[in-house]
Every structure is written in structure tokens, then in C-alpha cells.
Amino acid sequence: MLSSLSELINEGKEGEVISLDKQLSITWDKMYIFKPNTPREEIYEKVGYKFLKITEIDDANQVVLMNEGKVVYYSNIWEIKKNNLPFVFNVDNDKFNKNVLTINYGENDDFKVLGGEKNFYTGSEIVELAYEEK
């Protein structure tokens, strides 16, 4: 699903601004990026229903992809570590509205590709995606 993100550095895209609507192979229409320490009840309220047994995390953003009102993807830093996902999001605090940044497919989904650290376990580079406001 997100494998194309891991190739951005290898493809020489570092420093470029990309639209996630062209990068993610999963069908989605809305993305929520939640600030660290966002209470799970706020996440459930924003999404519209309780899904999974999510945790409250104090040092990482949590990401939810939606399609037609349903959760199609959920990730937090523990998922990234466990599954060796190849990316992290970087969003300035002033871009959040009540602990969440709402990204709409094809509208405000631009991110700058930054080089990241090497994954300790796989040796592959972790891509940092910095939010770019349109």
C-alpha cells in the first residue's frame, strides 16, 4: 500500500513536493494526522466511530486514512517500528486545529520529501514527509 513512499528517496525525489493522492495505492478521500497526546476519545469523535483499540501516544503523530466514512488505514509510531514502515510525517504545530490536521484527497495533500534516518532493522531509509500548505 505505502511501498511507493519508500522509493521516493531512491527515485531522487528528495527536496521535491509531492501530492499523496498520486503516491498512495490505497483508496482514500480524507486523512487525519493527530498530534501526539491526542486523547483516543477525540480521535474516535473526529473519525465518527470507535475502531480498533487505539492507544494514546506522547511522542508521535497518529494517522488515519478514511474512505467514504470508513477507516481504511491507521498508523502510529509503534506500527511504524513494528512493521518497518518507510515514512514519518512532519507537521508544524500551528497547522493543527484542535489536535488534528485534516488532509483532503487532491486538495491539501502536498508534502515535501526529506531524507531521513536509516531504519535500524532493515537498513532502508525512512522518508520524512513535511506538510506543505497550499
Report yes or no: 74 and 63 within 8 Å, Cβ to Cβ: yes
Residue whose C-alpha cell is 491526542:
38
Mean pLDDT of the chain: 82
Q: Hey, which residues does 90 pair with through a beta bridge?
A: 130
Residue whose C-alpha cell is 510525517:
89
CA–CA dist 8, 103 (Å, integer)? 20
9-23 residue pLDDT tens: 667 678 889 888 878
pTM: 0.83
Tell me, what's the pLDDT at 1? 42
The stretches of the chain forming alpha helices (DSSP H) are: 3-6, 40-47, 77-83
83-130 residue pLDDT tens: 555 677 889 999 999 999 999 999 999 999 887 677 666 666 678 889
CA–CA dist 32, 20 (Å, integer)? 13
